[in-house]
Structure 1
Amino acid sequence: MTATTDLADRYLAAWNATDPAGRRALVAEVFAEDVTYTDPLADVAGRDALDATIAAVQARFPGWVFRLAGPADAHHDQVRFTWHLGPEGADAPVAGSDVAVTDGDGRIRTVLGFLDRVPAPA
């Protein structure tokens, strides 16, 4: 379970890294070079495209942070976890669940994301 939680924590650390160089380093550490990421709002392939997607989410929700919303679960090469996105120390208006598939090196190769709660458009 420790490795499962560690992978989910490192995944979210990449999504929370606001320094571009630091974020790129985390993306390279956590994700396979040919990573694919698919959720209802994005469908990208490769580390550069994932990094750009993360930057776009940060621009859309400045100052908000991702945090685990419960324990991560895993079997075989798959990790499933739920996350919240919102202002630090406040209720999170956005929630989702991701399933990540790892490669032989323990890096995330595929992410399938689901949005469970999103705010109404303003």
Structure 2
Amino acid sequence: MTDFTQLAQSYIETWNETDATARRAAVERLWAPTGRYVDPIVDVQGHEQIAATIGAVQEQFAGMAFELLGGVDSHHAQARFQWGLGPAGQEPLVVGFDVLEVGQDGRVATVLGFLDRVPAGA
């Protein structure tokens, strides 16, 4: 049985990893090799593209961090959770909602992301 709260926390930690080598290793541990990430801006698949997407978001929002907002709701092989991105200890500038599905190996197979609040010009 998957501990979705821990999985969501590991997912957020991966988005916060600033070292490219460590980030790639975290993506490989967390995601299935054919894992897919889709949100309104990108649709990527595989470790290399997912790690590159995370790196691009970190460049765009340098010095900011992701955090879970509230609990993780899960059943069967999927979970949903809300997250925020902003300066540590302040109200998030970006708020989103992700639905994550795991494969039989317990790694992330798919993430469907939704952006609830995005600052103008971002």
Shift of residue 89, structure 1, vs aligned partner: 1.2
Query: Residue in 2 aligned with 1:93?
Result: 93
| SS class of match (1:79) | strand
Deviations 1:7-50 (A, max 9, x none): 00000111000001111111011110001110001100111000
RMSD, aligned α-carbons: 1.2
Q: List aligned pairs for 1:1-122, cutoff 5 A.
A: 3-121=3-121
C-alpha distance in structure 1 between counterparts of 2:110 and 2:20, whole Å: 22
Shift of residue 3, structure 1, vs aligned partner: 1.1
C-alpha distance in structure 1 between counterparts of 2:100 and 2:4, whole Å: 11
| SS class of match (1:52) | helix
C-alpha distance in structure 1 between counterparts of 2:108 and 2:4, whole Å: 12
Normalised to the residue count of structure 1, the TM-score between the two structures is 0.96
Shift of residue 86, structure 1, vs aligned partner: 0.3
Shift of residue 120, structure 1, vs aligned partner: 1.3
C-alpha distance in structure 2 between counterparts of 1:84 and 1:33, whole Å: 26
Shift of residue 105, structure 1, vs aligned partner: 1.1
Which stretches in structure 2 are left out of the alignment for 5+ residues? none
C-alpha distance in structure 2 between counterparts of 1:78 and 1:16, whole Å: 22
Q: Give the length in aligned residue pairs.
A: 121
Letter of the 1:7 counterpart: L
Percent identity reads 50
| SS class of match (1:104) | coil
| SS class of match (1:58) | helix
Deviations 1:49-71 (A, max 9, x none): 00000000000000110000000
Normalised to the residue count of structure 2, the TM-score between the two structures is 0.96
